Amino acid sequence: MTTTKGATMEGLLPQLGIVRKDFPILERTLAGGLPLVYLDSANTSQKPQVVIDTMVDHLERHNANISRAMHQLGAESTEAFEAARDKVATFIGAPSRDEVIFTKNASEALNLVANSLAWATGDLAIGPGDEVLITEMEHHSNIVPWQLLTERKGATLRWFGLTDDGHLDLDGPQGIDELITERTKVVSFTWVSNMLGTINPVAEITRRAHEVGAIVVVDASQSAPQMPTDLAAMEPVERPDVIAFTGHKVVGPTGIGVLWGRGDLLAQLPPFLGGGEMIETVRMEGSTYAPIPHRFEAGTPPIVEAVGLGAAVDYLGELGLGAVRDHEHAITAYALDGLATVPGLRVLGPLDAAERGGAISFELDGVHPHDIAQVLDARGVAVRAGHHCAKPAHARFGVQSSTRMSSYLYTTPAEIDALVEALEYTRSYFKLG
């Protein structure tokens, strides 16, 4: 699916047509003979054949539990699992591979940090008079754990508000200097908003938080798929202490997430879950815990999912995250221009593609988001409708829900054209003019 304009558009991945053939689902024909136009990648990305094949091969030839089995299959499975950890560490530029912890998703990773901090002692302890700072644009997974923590510990939850154009309000009366104080113990925020698409100034916020000794936690679920990350290359004062992301948004499988944390911080945190592999020794009188990363990986981990994630980040590494970022920027700019031609449509969030990622939420006057999604689906265009697990952000802009299109490395200009045409059809279907 190409267009003349798409063939000449700067920034698109070279050989985009060949790249698309790596993703078998994109060849699907839907009911009525319609080609699939998949614009829901912020929800979950599609998977290249190499990820599928790698997971099948592991299940067919190497399936065994890790660490505990003293036989060849167990050794092979353990080697594949730990190799995946090495690959992820390289993908994000982790200073140490032992700082990479596998979870079941980003939500669990964020909950791990919040719950471990709830049990922390000494300088990490949080209690009355302390503050945790988040933002109004967060996914619920980066709101609810901090609500639970502050409620349990008697601390105060505060947050950055949003400007009318969808940026964090860092310069207002409740801006960065007013909200980050000596009372701040944790600052947790998203790198890229899953609803507004906004790219947040990680370095600036982190630097200010570190000035007061606060821990910085960054939800990288939307940034990791489309932006190069090199933690080791970041200035220590500008490097977050923790980042979290999920496998299924980086062309990997569901059921696997990643928590990276500064090694000395993780070593001070109590375990999140108890059970097999996270112990050093167990006595009836008490237990001692394994060093990181196994300290936070209780029980049988998502083995084949980790192996699939390893193949996924290898795939992205071969494409080059810089090239993926450029592609996303080009497609996002093209989409913003196309959406601007639809009467009655309002984009929520920044209108400059340079300030945002590939997720674009919008309203269409006179049509409920669920109705938009249904009409688009009938024309083969897959988008998401709802609150996108970001109810506070929707409330800030006076809406209950929105429709969201989200592109990725396999998205073509022709698919954006199909979206715009389907929205025009939606307007005529509901007799909007």
The C-alpha atoms of residue 406 and residue 351 are separated, in whole angstroms, by: 15
Q: Do both 331 and 378 map to the same domain?
A: yes
357: left (phi over 0), alpha (psi -120 to 50) or beta: beta
* Domain end residue (candidates: 317, 343, 376): 317
Residue 1 has pLDDT above 60, yes or no: no
Burial class of residue 279, CB neighbours in 10 A (0-12, 13-18, 19+): middle
Q: Do both 101 and 131 map to the same domain?
A: yes
Q: What pLDDT is recorded for position 67? A: 82
Q: Do both 147 and 241 map to the same domain?
A: yes
Q: Do both 81 and 128 map to the same domain?
A: yes
Q: Is 236 a catalytic residue?
A: no
Residue 390 has pLDDT above 70, yes or no: yes
Burial class of residue 379, CB neighbours in 10 A (0-12, 13-18, 19+): middle
Q: Do both 149 and 272 map to the same domain?
A: yes
Could you give the angle at which helices 321-339 and 413-429 cross, rounded to 10 degrees? Answer: 30
Which strand (E) or helix (H) includes residue 90?
Answer: helix 72-92
Dihedral sign (CA 98, 103, 107, 109): negative
- Summarize pLDDT for 90-129 with one digit per residue, the tens: 999 999 999 999 999 999 999 999 999 999 999 999 999 9
Give how far the C-alpha of residue 124 lies from the chain's centroid of Cα atoms, to the nearest Å: 26
Q: Do both 203 and 310 map to the same domain?
A: yes
Q: Do both 162 and 288 map to the same domain?
A: yes
- Summarize pLDDT for 174-214 with one digit per residue, the tens: 999 999 999 999 999 999 999 999 999 999 999 999 999 99
The C-alpha atoms of residue 24 and residue 15 are separated, in whole angstroms, by: 16
Domains held by the chain: number: 2
Query: pTM for the whole thing?
Result: 0.96
Per 3-state DSSP, the chain is made up of helix, strand and coil in percentages (nearest 5) of 45, 20, 40
The C-alpha atoms of residue 120 and residue 82 are separated, in whole angstroms, by: 28
- Name the token pair of 80: 């594949």
Q: How far is CA 354 from CA 202, 323, 358, in A?
A: 15, 15, 10
- Summarize pLDDT for 120-161 with one digit per residue, the tens: 999 999 999 999 999 999 999 999 999 999 999 999 999 999
Count of CB atoms situated within 10 Å of the CB of 271:
20
Give the CATH number, domain containing residue 367: 3.90.1150.10
Domain that holds residue 422: 4-45+320-429
- Name the token pair of 258: 């990643």
Q: Do both 226 and 80 map to the same domain?
A: yes
- Summarize pLDDT for 5-27 with one digit per residue, the tens: 445 689 999 999 999 999 999 99
* Domain end residue (candidates: 294, 317, 340): 317
Residue 69: pLDDT band (50, 70, 90) is confident
Q: Which entry of 30, 34, 389, 399 is annotated as an active-site residue? A: 389
Could you give the angle at which helices 106-119 and 144-153 cross, rounded to 10 degrees? Answer: 10
Q: Do both 96 and 65 map to the same domain?
A: yes
Higher pLDDT, 165 or 1: 165
Q: Do both 313 and 325 map to the same domain?
A: no
Q: Do both 128 and 169 map to the same domain?
A: yes
The sheet with strand 345-348 has its strands ordered as 345-348, 359-364, 402-406, 384-386
The C-alpha atoms of residue 131 and residue 187 are separated, in whole angstroms, by: 9
Residue 4 has pLDDT above 90, yes or no: no
Give the CATH number, domain containing residue 216: 3.40.640.10
Q: Do both 56 and 85 map to the same domain?
A: yes
* Domain end residue (candidates: 283, 317, 351): 317
The C-alpha atoms of residue 329 and residue 322 are separated, in whole angstroms, by: 11
